[in-house]
Structures are given as C-alpha cells and as structure tokens.
Amino acid sequence: MKIVRSLVILLCITAGFAQNGTQSKGKSLTYPKVSVFPITDTTLDREYELYIKLPEDYATDTDTTYPVLYYTDADWHVEMVSPATEYMLKGVILVGISWQRNIAPEMFEKVGPHYSRIRDFSLKPAEKPEIQKKYQMGQAPKHLAFIKKQVIPFIDQHYRTDTRSRTYLGYSMGGEFGAYALMTQPDTFDNYILGSPSIKNEIPELTRLNAAYLAQNPVKTHGVHANVFVTYGTQETEVTGPIDAFVKLLNDRRDNYLSVQKEVIEGDHTTAAPQTILQSVAWLGRILDYESGRNAPSYIFDVSLLNRPFISTSPAKRNDGLGVGVLGPDGGDPKAIHQLAQEIASGKHGVYDSFLVYQKDKLLFESYYNRGRLDLAHPQASATKVYTAFALGRAIQLGYLDMEDLHKPIASFLPELTPEKFVSGTELVTLHQALTMRSGIRIPEEQYDAMRENPGNIQGQQQVQAIFEQSAPITEASQSFNYGMDPILVMQVIEAVVPGGAANFIKTELLDKLGISNYEWKTSPSGLPYAPYRSSFRSRDMLKWGQLAANQGQWEGEQLIPKAYLEKAMDRQFLTGDDDIFGGGPSVSKQGYGYYWWTADLKVGDNTYYCQSAQGGGGQYVINIKELDLIIVVTGTDNTNKTLQLIADFVLPGFAR
C-alpha cells in the first residue's frame, strides 16, 4: 500500500506538470529506459515518434515473447505509465505513440503541440464549419489504420512480442479513440483501457457504429474477444450518463467473450488521471497473470477470458515429464484438427477451455480457449470419480486390499459402524456395486443436503452410518445404475485401510509419483477428500491419468495399479443406453460403464473404435482409444457439448489412416 500511495503522489505531481505544461528552468531530462524512434504515416506523410520501453530481462531472457501495452498521448502519459508499470507490470513492452511532429507552424502556435490529437482521436467531423476547417476532426479511422498497419507491424518486426496479447490505453480523447477502435475493429487489441473517454456527445455515433459492426459480425458467430476497463471521475458529472450508456451498449451485446469492467475514480477529469493509470495497470496485471497462469485464482470463473486462443501443432517441451511431437509428421491430420480448433475458438461447438491430443507418448496438439490456461488447474467435476477409482487400485497394488475384496460388503471395512441401525440391505452393498453406481442407495437430495449442513454429524465413518440409516431399503430393483453418492463409500474404504489417511495416500502414492503438484482436491464435510467431484488438475496432468490407464497401470517402470483391476475398471461392464449420451452424436453408440469409466463405440467410416473416458460435467474428458494408442483431453464449461462426436468427425480419421 505504501508503494501505491507513493505512486499516486508522484503521478499527481507529474500529471500536473504534464497536463498544464509547467516547466522549470534547468537541463532537460531524457526519460530513463525509454527509447524514442521516429515513424511516419506513409499514407498521409505525418511524422510521429514511438516511446519504447523494454522489460528489464528483455536482453537476457531471449526465449520469451512479451505482451505490448500501446498508449496514446505519449508526450503526456509517459511520465505516468512508465513509473506505474515499473512497479506493477514489469514483463511488458511499453509503446507510447506521440502527437504528430511535422504539424503546420501556425497550428503549433495557435493550438499547441497537441493539435493532432484533436484531429486523430475524434470520431466524426465537427458540426460547425469553422471548427472543422481549423481542426480537421473525424480522422480516427485514418489514425487507427496507421496504428494497425504501420505501428504494430513495426513493433512486432523489431521486438519479441506476444502477438496474442496487445493492450490499448487512452485517456480523455485517447479514450474516445479507443472506443472507436473497439466498436469498429476490436481485434486490433485484446484489452482496452478507456480512461474518462470524451464521449459526451458521441453516444449516437457509437450506437451507429455498434449496429453496423453487429450487422456484419453477429455475436453468435463473431464474438468480440476483448477485456475492457472503463473509468470516469466522481466529479465528471457531464460524462457520467454517456459513459454509462456506452457500457450498457457493450453489455447489451450479451457477448460471452466480451468482459467489461467500469470503475469510478475519485476526482475530476485531471485529478482522476493518475489513479486511473494505477488502477488500470493493476487490472491489466491481473489479466496477464491469468493468461500465463501466474498467480491464477483457484476458481475457474474468476479467470478472465482469453481474447485469442492458444493453438499449437508442435507443443513446447516443459519440465513435466511429457514427451512432445509435431502434429502431422508424428501422426494426425493437422488440417482437420486445426479446423476443429478454429471452430471451437469461434464458439460454434459451445464453451471449451482446452483441447489436447496425445499419441504414442507424444503431445502433438495443445490448445486453450476462454478460461483455459496452461498452468491453471481446471475443475474436473465427475472425472474425479475415476481418480478415486485409481486410488482404490493403488491400495490394492500395495496390498491394503485385494481383488477379492471388491465383492465384499463395504461395511466390513468400516469397524466404527453400528450395523443394527442400518436400513435393510445396506449391510450387503459391495465395493464392486459402489464402483459401478449400482449400490441401490437412494436418499432424496434435500435429505442429503441436510446431512451436509450438519458436518458434525457425518465426520469420518459417521457419514456412511448416516447414509446407511437414511437410505430407502435396498432391493433388487433399486440396485440399478444410478449416478449418485456411491463414490463416497469407496473413499471411506480407502480412508479406513491405508496408513495416514486417504488425502495423504493420494498425494504420496499417486500424485507425487505422477509428478503432479499443481492441483486441488477439496475436503468434504466428512473430513475426507471429495470422491464424486471437486478436484482440479491442469490439462497436461489430465493426460498423465490417461497415460497411467493406457500403460496398464505402469508409470516409469513401476506398477502403480494392478493390470487386472484396470481391465475391470475400464471394461464395459454393462450398457447404460444410448438415449442420453454425454458428448454424443450420430457416430457415438453403445454407451457403457465400468468402475466410473464411461465407454462407447465411435464410428469412423466403416470402422468402429472402442472409447474409454473419464467424464465430468461441463465437458471434462480424459479419452483413451487403445487401438490407436491415442489420448485426448478436453476441458470446458458446457453441458451441451458434443465432444465425442467431434472426436469421431475431426480427430480419429487422421489417426485411423
């Protein structure tokens, strides 16, 4: 907080000098670490300057590409943007764009050196002819063309830029110019910072531009991938209504890929500027951290949307134990998979966060969308059930259980229970039945909610006691497939038989051995790890679960899971019916179930491939296709996804040839 307060004071002082043009006598100062390069708008023969500041590690970290923050009114704002980013946004290239340098001498004398900003940043010509003759207003389209076609390519050519991460910052008329860019060519930048935009009289024009853009680019097929930060001062009463109307204009698009945040800053148009710079830089820092996975929040919906997807047909080798290859030369059809990736990015198939393809011990394709990130653990929902089944298999491999125990009653492993209080039939429910979701346990949801609201009554094995007391009686009819609370019973058995408890056992005997450290596995009200859901893993680490299954339980030469157990777990032990196949379509049939693994047949031409998958609500998949030595990982937040059908349509044909 001391740094922020000091920066506010410093920026207020520099802003006062900059905005008012106050100068003291003495030597001029070349701004530290900022290089100045001339650049000419070759279309209009207008000369400008670029104020460029590189990150401290730019010269030494030669493998890194950097996001770029472009800002207008550089003559004023360099003294605010540079120190703010020095402390709060270090890994970014700063590019300030000056006013025109070769303006007519009479304009320099009459208006000042900032004459060109009035012309370059304004949306439309002035209504009064004499003003229009003097200022030549309404040239925002020409200035945007200059930035898009000459400034940005110049920076990308001469510096190591991350072309997927460009930000625009403009204040006052610079904010008005940013609003124009956002409404007409939003893909110019990924993030827009619009400080106190001068749009008092521009809402009709912005509304017209918005309608024209949407007519050519419907939200359903051409969502705007942008994060927008808009501010105004508490004393700027004249622009409060117009800026609120502008924000409403953006929100009324109902575009899932457009994120808009509005902040009201203490002060008037001048005094609010320093705090606007600070708050917007802090906002941008959070976005860039989320995009890279640094300091990312644990809750997926707290993550900003990626403006542009990350798509790689030759994934980078990272220190995570996964081999890498190149899509095409090492397998698969690059054209078909890239087409699918582009369609996913456009939102055509719903909301996906990641999509990875792995074959023969090589990651061949890696992509992230929306809230997906390379280093962010993604909620797994019901895919957690499969990871729980792996934990049980590990207990069998280490001798804490054996394969015969799968057909023994769960109650026989839990000595703290009081069987005489059980509902009829619960004492006979076996591990095998719980692993196949056929225990017969039936408890109304509201009754189960009441249990969770009183965690003191369901600590440890008392959770099973409560379930066995409150279930409806177990009958042959009730022991049919039911997607309920059976995994809870399995986790209770693991807790009872392994030393040190289930949570420590899962970490040391599975996750540590797989090299998985970036994860979350929440604790349930019983004090045990959740078994049906509420774990989170990175997409690359989800591949490791798939590898462990594909390798028949072996990992780096060690048998972690018994082969016989995995065969049983991943076998199609019964059919669940084809009426409602999660992720299905016309090429997906014979949906079945094993030990929390889903199975299905995927038809490709005249061939059929047996598919085994861990699945979670929202679109989480670890898909194994043994015949092709293929593993596919998908994450998302859309229960209406058609992932298995898309795999059959776009992915399998390239590997089946």
pTM: 0.65
Percentage of the chain modeled with pLDDT above 90: 74
What pLDDT score does 441 carry?
95
CB 186 within 8 A of CB 199: no
The reply to whether 382-534 shares the fold of 2-20+29-302 is no
Helix, strand, coil shares of the chain, percent, nearest 5, are: 40, 20, 40
- Four-way CATH pick for 310-380+545-656: 3.40.50.720, 3.40.710.10, 3.10.580.10, 3.40.50.300: 3.40.710.10
Span 282-302, mean pLDDT? Answer: 62
Examine the pLDDT at 307 and tell me if it is beyond 90: no
382-534 sits in which CATH class? Answer: alpha beta
Find, among 538, 572, 88, 114, the residue nearest to 296 by Cα.
538
- Inform me whether the pLDDT recorded for 650 exceeds 90: yes
Q: Which two tokens stand for residue 313?
A: 């047909």
Cα–Cα distance for residue pair 42/583, rounded to 1 Å: 53
pLDDT for 8 beyond 90: no
d(CA 283, CA 558): 46
Q: Which amino acid is at 273?
A: A
* DSSP conformation letters of 103-115: --HHHHHHT-TTH
| Residue 2 confidence (pLDDT) above 60 | no
- Residue 647 CA to residue 588 CA, distance in Å, equals 10
Edge-to-edge strand list for the sheet holding 161-171:
34-41, 46-53, 93-97, 66-71, 161-171, 191-195, 226-233, 258-265
Sheet arrangement for strand 535-537 = 378-379, 535-537, 519-521
Distance CA 545, CA 382 (A): 14
Beta-sheet pairing, 574-575 with 558-559: unpaired
Whether pLDDT at 297 is above 50:
no
Among residues of the chain, what percentage have pLDDT more than 70?
A: 92
Q: Which CATH number fits domain 2-20+29-302: 3.40.50.1820, 3.40.228.10, 3.10.270.10, 3.40.50.720?
A: 3.40.50.1820
pLDDT tens across 253-273, in order?
A: 877 678 888 999 999 999 999
Residue 294 has pLDDT above 70, yes or no: no
Query: Which whole-number Å values give the CA distances from 51 to 261, 327, 377, 614, in the listed order?
Result: 28, 40, 38, 52
Name the DSSP class of 4: H
3-state secondary structure of 312: strand
Tokens encoding 561: 């899971």
Angle at 440 between CA 439 and CA 444, to 5 degrees: 120
* DSSP-derived secondary structure letter, 150: I
Q: Please check whether residue 490 is in contact with residue 392, taking contact to mean a CB–CB distance below 8 angstroms.
A: yes
Query: Is residue 624 over pLDDT 80?
Result: yes
Q: Exposed, middle or buried, 523 (CB in 10 Å: 0-12/13-18/19+)?
A: exposed
Residue 595 neighbours by CB under 8 Å, 6+ apart: 389, 435, 436, 568, 569, 570
- Backbone φ and ψ for 590, nearest 5 degrees, come out as 55, 55
- E strands of 498-552, at which residues? 519-521, 535-537
- Mean pLDDT score of the chain: 90
Which pair of tokens denotes residue 350?
Answer: 């719903």
| 428-454 per-position pLDDT tens digit | 999 999 999 999 999 988 887 888 788
The lowest-confidence range among 84-93, 119-128, 593-602 is: 84-93
What is the separation of C-alpha 477 from the centre of its chain, rounded to a whole number of angstroms? 44
Task: Residue count of the chain, please give it.
Answer: 657
Residue 41 confidence (pLDDT) above 90: yes
Listed by start position, the domains of the chain span 2-20+29-302, 310-380+545-656, 382-534
pLDDT value at 165 more than 60: yes
Nearest CA to 392 out of 426, 435, 428 is that of: 435
Compute the average pLDDT of residues 524-553. Answer: 96
Helix (H, G, I), strand (E, B) or coil at 49: strand
H or E segment to which residue 87 belongs: helix 74-88
Q: What are phi and psi of 433, to 5 degrees?
A: -65, -40
Gyration radius of the chain over CA positions: 30
Q: Which of 549, 656, 562 has the alpha carbon at shortest distance from 596?
A: 549
**Residue 17: band (very low, low, confident or very high) from pLDDT cuts 50, 70, 90:** very low
d(CA 240, CA 228): 17
Helix H or strand E encompassing 230: strand 226-233
The token pair at 58 is 């730019």
